[in-house]
Amino acid sequence: MNISAKFVSVPLSLSLLLLAGCSSEEASQETNKATDQVEKKAEQAAGTVKEKSGELSEKVKSETPIIIQNMKDTYKETEQKLKKDTLQKGDEAITKKDGLLALTPEAYDELYQLIEVNDLKGVEDIEKENQVTEITKDTKVEIVERDVIRTKVKIQESDKEGYLPTSLLEPVNKDAK
């Protein structure tokens, strides 16, 4: 029985090996098929991404000049509006309130130091010394020089020049002339 067991076990082993070999081959074929499908899907995805990025690139190329022109136009409009609303040398303005016109930059500085500490006597003194003069609301002036805080003006009625706070002045509407 020893010999007969060998004869039976050899064909059985060979059958098992063949079956096992077929299974490996089938598994290998399935793996290759799946790999091919994954590669095909990856190629399709890459093609879609390339197509979409091309479309996006074209869109950016076509829209960017328009956006840049819009920004330029906005900057120019803002600059023109600011220039129109901001007093410049040669512009006409009116005073919004009664105030004091300082005749020199030094008198202006002294006047506003006195005002800051509420020294009314000091203000009267520099007025008596003819360093400042009263100016009434709605006085027409021409801008001679302009700073952020103070502006040198020429009173149109008297040709007297002096310094006023810039915030005390209002542009005369040029369109209304």
Q: What is the CATH number of the domain that holds 101?
A: 2.30.30.40
Residue ending a domain, among 29, 53, 85, is: 85
Question: According to the model, what pLDDT value does residue 161 have?
Answer: 95
Report the percentage of the chain scoring pLDDT > 90: 37
Determine the average pLDDT of the residues in 107-134.
93
Helices (H), the chain: 2-85, 105-116, 120-128
Tell me, yes or no, whether 110 and 130 share the same domain.
yes
CA 76 to each of CA 40, 71, 83, 87, 113: distance values in angstroms, whole numbers, following the listed order: 54, 9, 10, 18, 39
Q: Is 10 a residue whose pLDDT tops 70?
A: no
Q: Is 16 a residue whose pLDDT tops 60?
A: no
Residue ending a domain, among 51, 85, 119, is: 85
Tell me, yes or no, whether 105 and 48 share the same domain.
no
Task: Give the model's confidence band at 132: pLDDT under 50 very low, under 70 low, under 90 confident, else very high.
Answer: very high
Range of the structural domain that residue 53 is part of = 1-85
Q: Is 3 a residue whose pLDDT tops 80?
A: no
Query: What number of residues does the chain have?
Result: 177
Tell me, yes or no, whether 60 and 140 share the same domain.
no
Tell me, yes or no, whether 72 and 134 share the same domain.
no
Number of structural domains, the chain? 2
pTM exceeding the 0.85 threshold for the entire prediction:
no
Residue ending a domain, among 45, 67, 85, is: 85
Tell me, yes or no, whether 81 and 111 share the same domain.
no
Task: For residue 175, give the 3-state DSSP assignment.
Answer: helix
Q: What is the DSSP letter of 89?
A: T
Question: According to the model, what pLDDT value does residue 19 have?
Answer: 52
Question: Could you tell me which of 133, 137, 156, 153 has the C-alpha nearest to residue 145?
Answer: 153
